Structures are given as C-alpha cells and as structure tokens.
Amino acid sequence: AALAFTFPEIEVEISGEQRRVKLGKRSVLIEGDVDNSDIITGDQNQVIRDSTVQGDVIGPGGTKVMGETEAERRQREIEAARKLYLQQLRRHCRRVDLETILDMPAASRLLQLDEVYVNLDTTTRMDRQGRILTGTEKAVSGKDDDEKSVPLPAMQAAGRFAKLLLLGDPGGGKSSLMKILCIQLANTCLNGDAPPEGFQQDLLPVLISLRHLAPRLKDLALDDLSHEDRIAQLRPLLQEQFRETLHRIDAESFREGLQEALRAGRCLLILDGLDEVPFDQRGRIRLAVQVLLELYPLERVIITCRKNSYRENDFPGYEVLTLARFDRPKIDNFITAWYETQQQIGRVDKLEKAEKTADLKEAILQSDDDTLLNLAENPMMLTTMAMIHQKRARLPRERVRVYQEAVDLLLIRWQEQKTGKDKIPVSLALKAFLQDPNRLRDTVELLAYETHRSGKDKKTADLSYYKALKLLSREEHLNDLQLAMDFLNYIDQRSGLMVGQGGSDDDITFTFPHRTFQEYLAGCYLARRSDAVQRYGELAGEGPYWEIAVRFGMEEYRHNNRDRNTPCNNALLMSDCEDLSAAAQQRLVLWAGDIALRVLELGKDSHQQGEALDRKLCKRLREHLPAVLGGSLLPRERTRAGRHLAALGDPRPGVTTLEGMQFCRVPAGPFWMGGEKYSDEKPAHDNPHLDDDYWMGRYPVTVGQFREYLEQSGRKPE
C-alpha cells in the first residue's frame, strides 16, 4: 500500500488512469489494498518496529481505524441470517392458500392465518387450578362439567410438555396450530414479544413437513443394517432436508446458524404429519424421525399425526394428547373472525359483514338439523363452509347442495397443482386424471360406495388399501395399477374427503373422516346406476343401514340436477309391491315415503292437486304405508311410516273418524297386577276388584277424531 500525506498535490493512478489529487492539511490518501494493515493519523506520528511489543502502540493524539474481525463478521452474518429466517418462516406460516380456489373479487391483500385462527383445545381435562385430571377423575368430573374441570388448551399443552405427540382428526387443525406457534415464537425473537406460556424467550422454531422428507427415503434399504449403519445412511439425508426446508422459505443463508441451534438444542423442532406420507414409506419415516431425535440434544419436540394412524409406543417418553373438535363458541368465534378479516381486506363492507356473519351463524348454529353443525366441528370443514357461504352470498338451505359444493371445493384442492417450492410431484398420468373432473368424481363416488358397503355392522366404515387398489385397477375404472397406487397415495397426502390410516403396510385402510360425505357420495353412486331401483331392493334386505345414502341420491337429482321426475319414478317403482309380508318390501315402501316427503316435499293436498306422477305416488303410498305400520320393521322405522302417513293423509277410518274408531272389550273379573322389576310395582298380585267390563281404544284419540267430536258436540276446546 502507498500512503501520501502533507503534500499539497500528488499524482496517482486510479483505475488505470493518471490523476492529480489535492490533499488537505493532515490528509491521508490510501492507494491499493491495506487489508490487515494499520492506518495512523495524528501529529508527529512515528512507526516503531519492536519485536517485544505484542499489539498496537499509538502515540498521543493518534487514532487507529480497525476493520471488522473475522469472528465479528461471522457473528453479524449469522444474526442477519437468523433474522431473515424468522421473518421468512413467519411469512410462510401466515400464508393461507385460498386464493386459487376462491372465485371472488380481488382483495387489497391476502388473508393470513393468524387473523382467522381460533384457539384449539385438547380432549384432556384439567381442574380449575390447572392440574390435569387422571382417568378416574375425568370420569367423575364429566366432559361437560364446567364447574369442576375445563379442557386443556392446545397451546398451553405445547408449552407444558417438552416432548409432545399431538394427535387429531384430518383437517382438525394440527398443522395450523403448529404454524401459529411458529408465528408467536418468531414474533418473540424478532420483536421481543412475550413468548407463549411455557416457552423461553429466544427459542428458535423449526418446522419440518415430513411429507417433504419421504421422497429422500424412498430407495433406502435399512432393514438389514445395524443401528450405526442406519444412522450413517440417514444423517446426510436429514441434513439435506434441513437445507431444503430453508430453501422453501428463501432462507438458505441460515444453514450454518440452524445447524448450530440444532447442535446446541436451543430450538423447538416441529415434525408435522408423521402419517402424511406414502404408505410404503411410513416405517422409514418413523425410523428417520427416531434417528433425528438421537442426533440432536433438542430441548423441545412436537410431532403431529392423525389419531387413527398413530401406533402406540412409537415414541416412548412423549406425552400423547388429542385435539378436540370445535364447540359452538369456537364455531361462533371463527365465523366472526372470518368476516372481520374479509372486511379488512376489502371483500365485504361493514353492512355485508354484519349480514353475512349473522346468516352463517344462523345456518350452522340455529338449524333444526345438526348435520351442518357436526360438519362445522371440524376446522377444515368449517373453513370450507365459510368459503361456500361467501362465494354464494348465503349457505344453501338444502344440505345436499352444501355437500356438493364442499365436495367440489375439496376436489379442486386435489386438482390444483401447486407450483414453486411446495409442489407435490405427480406423474403425467395422475396429473391428467386429476384434471378430469367427471372421472375424478366418479372414482371418488365408487370408493365411497365400497367404503360404505364395508361398514355395515361396524362402528366405522373403512376400505382396505389392497381392496381399493384392486378395485381401481379394473378395466372399467382406472385400468392402470400404477395410476391407482399413485392416486391412493396422493389423496392420502391431501387431507380432505378421504384419508388413509394405519401405520404399516398390512393394516392400511381408507376412510371418509366425515361420514356424511361418505353417505352422500355413496348415494350419488347408487342413484346414477341404470339398475338403481333393483339395487335399492337388494340393500333394503340388509336393514336400515342404507336409508340415508338412498335419500341423498334422490336429493342429488332433485336439488343439484333440478330433476323431479327421476326421484318420483324411482319412488313409484320402489312402492310397487303387491306382497308386503317381507321386511325388504316394507322398507322399500318406507324409503319411497322418505323420497315423497323429504325430497319431493309432497303433502296432504298432493294426491289431489299435484302433478300426475305426484298424485299416483301419493295414492300408492297411502295404500301401502298402513301395512308398513303393522309390519316387521324396527319401531323407529314404523314410527316414521306413521309420520309419512299422517303427512300424506291417513286413509284409515279407525284413526281419522269417530265412526270408525276400533275398541277392544276388557271383561270384568280378577287380573294380574304389578311386577317384581321395580319397587313401586311390588308385589305382583291378583287384583279381584274389576267389577265391570270396559272398552279400550285400539289407537289413542287422534287430532282428527277430536276435531270431529268438537264439531258434533258443539263444545269448544279448553
């Protein structure tokens, strides 16, 4: 390096050009590279070389200008990279991917998760002092006894247990809860916000989606390896996964800082979706997770998994808790937050917000039918219903239209091919299949039908993986074994209509987490068959199990296809029975009554004023339903037949007129009274005090008979 000072003017070469530079008093001109050199300014400076001096000696009035040390530069870069990582993680976790499936006017900005998130509870109960109740105490307290116990909030559980395995339903909010936790911890690190209860101030959140790790393990052969060799195989793959995780959120510069945090254990590691990977890789994923937990001395770990896929004792030492479904207050809070946010981003104004909020709450929380309420207890389904409501301006009052639109939205999620770093790789054949809505819908209906058929006489309905694979591979369906395998793996990873469950290859099954969708889609499959009525007859012989699916199929024609004739014709064929001695024939007539009353909405005047087909159907039902009333069906079925008959106009004189009332004579004399079952009936004894005959009506007095009595007697009702 060349130093020039105290010269009034000097000629120097700068960037290859000769230039003259005028220096002021006590100026210093630095030319060239002075890396690791000293620059000294001041009066009467001297440079003394002395081998005994360790360090720098600066005379009076001197100033030493030092560059940043290597250690300081490295620390500054790590801190900057950490800050960037936290900002990017927070941005990633706040993002809600709804815009691609919401056909709505543009908003001023995107909706963010923490704006609509509702705090979740677990199914674990605790007393008012925060002590978790034991099994015996929970049984004594009772789930709904708010005076003695309350549910343990999910966020509080995350802070209370250093090692937590969190289970939940598909769409139950597991991933959303983990993202909210990451957002809050990022805010703590970036802004100095108070950390969530139970967490340290500077804890680094690390979120790993295990479905992204699965492809790396696909070709590994680990079964015959020692534990040490397995670790040697898995270690570099796990390191690659951490790098990919940073790449997905555009924070690759934090690679070194992340490894330091993991090695020091100063982080919360979240492993999301233990079971949301292809079935043949679940064993390897569990092994990889166990190895990962051995490699790093982590202070805190949370693993999430669907509750029906979790195998006990996979992770000893972990507290296992289950997320609870939404209750009414949480549903109410979500709807409020949803439309508050829609107003903030400019999709609705203040008046629309109030109207839409009230309308959706009424449709779900105040309906006489609990079907929509049961769906809304699942956070993902409630979000779907809110999207339908906002898109349509109101929620359809016919349940089958809600189901159709919900199914369409969920299928769009399947069809939607994510781009960029979150894209799920699919084969060309699967991509083409997913983009064919009719073929996709037909396939899902088929799976629903087969699943529902397998659920008879069982608490839950499920379809084995191998049966589903064989079914879809047939020529009349997908006609491609690999495509069938790809499709089953794909739908399992896209939490929605249908999911896989089970932890190993030999116990994998598929199920519909929301039974109503299973019944709806199975009913649609049956209804569009050319031999639908014949199939109804066969299914009627199996008991009442199929009645809801049959009705759904007819509602699909009536409300979604705007077709009244098909349900009416089917009901006519179903009720065309000369011999009603068999239970199957009686049940077919009852199902025809369901269609007439609940689908076609026929009534007492329909047999006189309706369309020709309606009149014919009403006449036939009024003739045949009395036989169902006195038949061999279950009491609840015969009760329903009576209600149908009353709604259509009961033709029996014995229950509609005074003249036709039927009585049974009870003769005078002793009779057996009491019993041994209840204390107020004891003792059973012979009562000799019935001195006169009396008559008992075959049926209770009906409203029609009492009305006729009032008219003939001239009396007025009290």
141 pLDDT band (50/70/90 cuts)? Answer: very low
* pLDDT (mean) for 652-667: 90
Model confidence over 495-511: pLDDT tens digits? 567 877 765 555 678 88
**How far apart are the C-alpha atoms of 462 and 338, rounded to whole Å?**
34
Model confidence over 475-500: pLDDT tens digits? 888 889 999 988 888 877 665 678 77
**How far apart are the C-alpha atoms of 707 and 701, rounded to whole Å?**
10
Q: Put the strands of the sheet holding 499-501 in their side by side order.
A: 463-464, 509-511, 499-501
**How far apart are the C-alpha atoms of 352 and 104, rounded to whole Å?**
15
- Residue type at 143 in one-letter notation: K
**How far apart are the C-alpha atoms of 176 and 614, rounded to whole Å?**
50
- Residue 399: how many other CB atoms lie within 10 Å: 19
Lowest-pLDDT range of 288-297, 418-427, 621-630: 418-427
Tokens of 527: 């209804």
- Among 4-13, 65-74, 139-148, 504-513, top mean pLDDT goes to 65-74
Task: Indicate if the pLDDT at residue 343 is higher than 50.
Answer: yes
* pLDDT (mean) for 599-607: 79
Task: Indicate if the pLDDT at residue 3 is higher than 60.
Answer: no
Q: Is the dihedral of CA 643, 648, 651, 653 positive or negative?
A: positive
Fold of 420-519: Arc Repressor Mutant, subunit A (1.10.10)
Task: Indicate if the pLDDT at residue 92 is higher than 90.
Answer: yes
Helix-, strand-, coil-residue percentages of the chain, each rounded to 5: 50, 10, 35
* pLDDT (mean) for 654-661: 90
- Cis omega before residue 683 (within 30°)? yes
Give the length of the chain: 718
Lowest-pLDDT range of 49-53, 397-401, 518-522, 539-543: 49-53
Model confidence over 294-328: pLDDT tens digits? 999 998 999 999 887 777 778 889 999 999 999 99
* pLDDT (mean) for 31-38: 63
Contact 641, 593 (CB under 8 A): yes
Indicate the angle between helix axes 565-574 and 612-629, nearest 10 degrees. 40
- Say what percent of the chain tops pLDDT 70: 83
Phi then psi for residue 355, to 5 deg, are -65, -45
Q: Is the dihedral of CA 674, 680, 682, 686 positive or negative?
A: negative
421 pLDDT band (50/70/90 cuts)? Answer: very low
Give pLDDT, residue 31. 61
* pLDDT (mean) for 607-611: 66
In 596-693 the beta strands, taken as DSSP E runs, fall at: 663-666, 671-673, 685-687
Model confidence over 523-580: pLDDT tens digits? 999 999 999 999 999 999 999 999 999 999 999 999 999 899 999 999 999 999 888 9
- Say what percent of the chain tops pLDDT 90: 48
Give pLDDT, residue 409. 80
- pLDDT mean across residues, the chain: 85
Please state the three-class secondary structure of 689-703 as a single string.
Answer: CCCCCEEEECCCCCH
Task: Indicate if the pLDDT at residue 63 is higher than 90.
Answer: no
Q: Indicate if 420-519 has the same CATH topology as 89-322.
A: no
**CA 247: distance to chain centroid?**
27
Task: Indicate if the pLDDT at residue 292 is higher than 50.
Answer: yes
150 pLDDT band (50/70/90 cuts)? Answer: very high
Q: What letters, b where the CB count within 10 A reaches 16 and e where it falls short, cover 236-261?
A: eebeebbeebbebbebeebbebbeeb
Task: Indicate if the pLDDT at residue 422 is higher than 90.
Answer: no
The pTM for the full model equals 0.72
* pLDDT (mean) for 279-307: 88
* pLDDT (mean) for 220-237: 86
Phi then psi for residue 479, to 5 deg, are 60, 35
Task: Indicate if the pLDDT at residue 452 is higher than 80.
Answer: yes
Contact 634, 590 (CB under 8 A): no
Phi then psi for residue 686, to 5 deg, are -90, 120
Give pLDDT, residue 224. 80
Task: Indicate if the pLDDT at residue 64 is higher than 80.
Answer: no
Indicate the angle between helix axes 350-365 and 379-392, nearest 10 degrees. 130
State the DSSP H helix or E strand holding residue 445, giving kind and residue range, or none if neither.
Answer: helix 437-454
**How far apart are the C-alpha atoms of 489 and 487, rounded to whole Å?**
5
424 pLDDT band (50/70/90 cuts)? Answer: low
> Which residues are CB-neighbours of 457 under 8 A, at least 6 positions away?
none
State the DSSP H helix or E strand holding residue 321, giving kind and residue range, or none if neither.
Answer: strand 319-322
- Among 127-131, 275-279, 543-547, top mean pLDDT goes to 543-547
- Residue type at 646 in one-letter notation: A
What does the DSSP assignment read for 537-561? HHHHTT-GGGHHHHHHHHHIIIIIS
Task: Indicate if the pLDDT at residue 338 is higher than 80.
Answer: yes
Distances (CA, A) of 563 to 266, 315, 390, 408, 566: 63, 55, 27, 20, 6
Residue 188, class by beta-carbon neighbours within 10 Å (0-12 exposed, 13-18 middle, 19+ buried)?
buried
Task: Indicate if the pLDDT at residue 678 is higher than 60.
Answer: yes
* pLDDT (mean) for 221-246: 89
Q: Which residues pair with 304 in a beta bridge?
A: 166
Residue 630, class by beta-carbon neighbours within 10 Å (0-12 exposed, 13-18 middle, 19+ buried)?
exposed
* pLDDT (mean) for 120-124: 96
Give pLDDT, residue 56. 65
Task: Indicate if the pLDDT at residue 1 is higher than 60.
Answer: no
Task: Indicate if the pLDDT at residue 348 is higher than 70.
Answer: yes
State the DSSP H helix or E strand holding residue 711, giving kind and residue range, or none if neither.
Answer: helix 703-713
Q: Closest Cα to residue 238, out of 162, 296, 298?
A: 296
> Which residues are CB-neighbours of 237 under 8 A, at least 6 positions away?
213, 216, 217, 220, 288
Contact 567, 599 (CB under 8 A): yes
Give pLDDT, residue 416. 62
148 pLDDT band (50/70/90 cuts)? Answer: confident
Q: Which residues pair with 204 in a beta bridge?
A: 267
- Determine the Cα angle at 174 with ends 169 and 179, to 5°: 160
Domain 89-322 coded CATH 3.40.50: yes
Lowest-pLDDT range of 72-81, 360-369, 439-448, 605-614: 605-614
Domain ranges, ordered by start, for the chain? 1-67, 89-322, 328-395, 420-519, 529-651, 663-713
Give pLDDT, residue 443. 93
